[in-house]
Amino acid sequence: MNQRILTAVVLLTAIVGLLVTGPLCAGEPVVLFDGKTLDNWEVLTCEATVEDGAILLKSGNGLVQTKKSYDDFVFEYEWKALNPEKWDSGVYFRYEDVPAGRPWPSKYQVNLQKGREGDLVGFKDGINSVDLDPHDWNQFALTVKGTTAALKVNGKEAWKVDGIKTPSGLIALQAEVPGGGQFLFRNIRITELGDE
């Protein structure tokens, strides 16, 4: 009888432990783009389509933004610029809205402008020095946790900064087609992070 009680207590303790620690750990990666539809996204003041398993930012100045806000996360994506000479796009994160009369949020942006690919706009320590080819597929992994943000470019550490003030917000692909040409994005997924 005592052995059964002890076994029950051990099992109950293990279950409670899993329930308590489960949400505090990193979740499973969630596919935000399935290569077929834009179901997880809202398209604002631009044209975006799906072509050959990628999101094509086709025309306009605007955003392809997530329908959901995120707190702490790892956002992974691959991108490629189609303009041969001058290209410009980016990925915005942790913003709440777009100011009236503007096509994009005021912050925070991982730049994809020619010569500044991977830089975090407005952060002197957020400068990418990892080599990449803007006309081939490049893989970025953006980790945002608390007030910090860090970027890996093609598997290599690019930068880590502190000073992200907005605790939660949307994520968006920036369309700046008139000035920066068309862009492709694919293999987009997010892993939500918990407390460690």
For residue range 87-117, what is the model confidence (pLDDT) as tens digits?
Answer: 999 999 999 999 999 999 999 999 999 999 9
With respect to residue 72, please indicate whether it lies within any of the assigned structural domains: yes
| 80 domain residue, yes or no | yes
Confidence of residue 19 (pLDDT cuts 50, 70, 90): very low
CB 13 within 8 A of CB 180: no
Residue 133's pLDDT is: 95
Residue-range definition of the domain harbouring residue 57: 27-192
Count how many domains the chain has. Answer: 1
Per-residue pLDDT, 146: 97
For the entire predicted model, the pTM comes to: 0.86
Q: How far is CA 28 from CA 22, 35, 191, in A?
A: 11, 19, 6
The H or E element spanning position 16 is: helix 2-21
Going by the DSSP 8-state scheme, the letter that residue 6 receives in this structure is H
Spatial neighbors of 131 by CB under 8 A, at least 6 apart, are none
Structural domain includes residue 3: no
Please indicate, yes or no, if residue 20 is contained in any of the structural domains.
no
Please indicate, yes or no, if residue 15 is contained in any of the structural domains. no
CATH code of the domain containing 151: 2.60.120.560
pLDDT of the residue at 195: 65
Which residue would you say has higher pLDDT here, 23 or 150?
150
